[in-house]
A = this chain, B = another copy of it.
Amino acid sequence: MAITREPTLTTADHLRRTLDGAWHDTKEKVRVDLNRDEFLPHYTPDLAEARAKTLEQMALLTAAGNAANGFRIEHGGTGNVGAAVTSIELLAMSDLSLMVKAGVQWGLFGGAVENLGTERHHTRYVKPTIDLDLLGCFAMTETGHGSDVQSLETTATYDPDAAEFVIHSPTPSARKDYIGGAAQHATMAAVFAQLLVPGTDGEETESKGVHCLLVPIRDEEGNDLPGVTTSDCGHKGGLPGVDNGRIVFDHVRVPRENLLNRYGDVDEDGNYTSPIDNVSRRFFTMLGTLVRGRITVGGSAAAAARVALTIATKYALQRRQFSSPEGDTEIAIMDYLAHQRRLLPLIAQAYALAFAQNELVSTLDRLQTSPDQDPQAQRELENRAAGLKVANTAFATRAIQECREACGGAGYLMENRLVALKADTDVFTTFEGDNTVLTQLVAKELLTGYADEVQGMSPVEWMRFAVDTVGDVVKKRTAATQIIQTLLDTRQDNEEEGSLFNRGTQLDMFGEREEYLLASAARRLQGAFKREDDPFDAFNFVQDHVLEAARAHIDRVVLEAFVAGIDECEDETAKELLGELCDIYALTVIEDNKAWFIEHRRLSVERAKAVTRGVNERCRSLRPHVDTIATGLGVPEYLLGAALLDGPGTDG
């Protein structure tokens, strides 16, 4: 029997494996799938060319079997939810237009069919959606309504005589807007609209809230169908390969069966039935099944940031500027403390967020493949998804910008990719949920203890509600409870400098900040609503505090995930590096919030000064390992796509 030995793994390999987490094999497969000419990073500002290229790439993904993961086996898929999310995430390393377009087709449109539809839809649409025989779009957002989806104006009125729904845009602000695929490729739209059925109490119609219907919008030749008017959003900040567009409906008729009727159905006579009575709960249950989109966007933004960080770090190791007094060679810019302070905290955060994202994907996979429903767990998943979407996308925007600037003039050339990464991911902070609105959502769930009633409430309303109900704010630990508890038990809360490197101390500081901010936000909410006559004034008085509490929550969740992630690492050298990166992550968050910690007596003035020293010290000790750490981010060399890494003097 021949013995096949596993080739020796480098430290960077171990880092990559640990960072890949449970879906390591999926990620490795996608890396291999993407190692062909068609997926090498490219750029064209020509919309027609970019859009055609994206479609071509999608066909290759279908052929490689990556498109089927998001769908259940009985519908023609593989039922591997985690793989579906992670494989779309990884496309971000090749081309963000491809990632978005694939996300729209298989995640959003396909997800709506899969999760909001029933057998009649699955049989008819899932297979062609996987195979790209049917190109769909996801028509939720309207010109006048983005963050407040419950206020959508598009109507779907049931006509019992024809057994049809009439889809209509009653006002200019009801126009569907920014819809990926609507400008050119999509022939069918999953349209979110206010469902109107014949009234039972003398009214002509009665609203059942927002539902989703499948509406054909184009014929095979690409012409708008009667009553449908599409237009093109044209050039955007980035994502040239995504054909975003607008749709206006003028009394467009679709058969009754086109209602995705898992959570609400209309029979031939126009009688409405639903397994969920409460209009608001029904709507949010529907939205909840689509949480995958939000998770994918966060993960993809982080993946793009990892590409940028790898490029900027490798460049900083080769680029030299200004001579050293001790010799003839110029100094590598990675050797300057100022440069280390620019890049290393971001790399540490990239690791932190990747671990948090892995945890989130595992939870998603577990819940969506479990036969049992657990509404509380689902709400927590949605909350975590919102929080990490904010953290990942805000991080990507900041990190890619810093990387671009860290590469100077070279960073501004398209051939070095950073500007494209920045431009393409720029919309991620505001689509799939605006970051400010999502941060508020995180706070809402924490402050109202996931109360059912608040789901449909406006921000002012839920805060008013919270005043009466808020009790002990319960802090939910992440999966890693046991490790965290052990570390907390060994915390060193003393004045010695070294104590800031103690993991238990760091965890404790993050936890205390979250708890205090949540509790004090709750107290101030109560005071404000008692004091102010106008509820909006009361709301405004505490809005910034509430947002800060949510951010503190996310910070804590991410740190705990980092700690748990390190625990999974099987290589001692890699584990040590991860530990130092975790210090940098923890200490920079503390540094960013230093004033708070001092103000609230969690940090003495003397110890506060040691925080900055601690970050600098870790920058110094990690300096020899920077290349390893950057490689460990797991971006294959062929997906870097930056001419500057080919050395000076190379024409792109």
Contact = CB atoms under 8 A, between A and B. Distances in A.
A502 interface: no
Nearest to A623: B540
A141 to B, nearest CB: 7
A480 interface: no
A413 B236 contact: yes
A244 to B, nearest CB: 8
A605 B608 CA distance: 14
Q: Report the interface size class on chain A.
A: 35 or more
B413 A233 contact: yes
Nearest to A615: B544
Contacts of A487: none
Nearest to A651: B231
A412 B436 contact: no
Nearest to A145: B321
Contacts of A652: 234
Contacts of A330: 148, 151
Contacts of A159: none
Copies in the complex: 2
A413 B648 CA distance: 35
A426 B397 contact: no
Given A458-B322, A605-B599, A236 B45 contact: no
A57 interface: no
A202 interface: no
Interface string A143-175: 111111001000000000000000000011101
A237 B324 contact: no
B151 A323 contact: yes
Contacts of A148: 321-323, 330
A423 interface: yes
B594 A535 contact: no
Contacts of A322: 147-148, 151, 458-460
Interface in A526-563: 534-536, 540-541, 543-544, 547
Interface of A: 43, 45-46, 141, 143-148, 151, 171-173, 175, 177-178, 231, 233-238, 246, 321-326, 330-331, 335-339, 341, 397, 401, 404-405, 408-409, 411-415, 419, 422-423, 426-427, 429-431, 434-436, 440, 458-461, 464, 534-536, 540-541, 543-544, 547, 594-595, 598-599, 601, 605, 608-609, 612, 616, 620, 648-652
- The list of the 9 closest CB pairs from A to B, nearest first, reads A172-B649, A237-B419, A45-B45, A235-B414, A594-B595, A595-B595, A337-B540, A322-B458, A173-B648
16 contacts: A143-B649, A147-B408, A172-B649, A175-B649, A234-B413, A235-B414, A324-B460, A326-B536, A341-B544, A409-B427, A409-B430, A412-B426, A419-B423, A540-B620, A594-B595, A595-B608
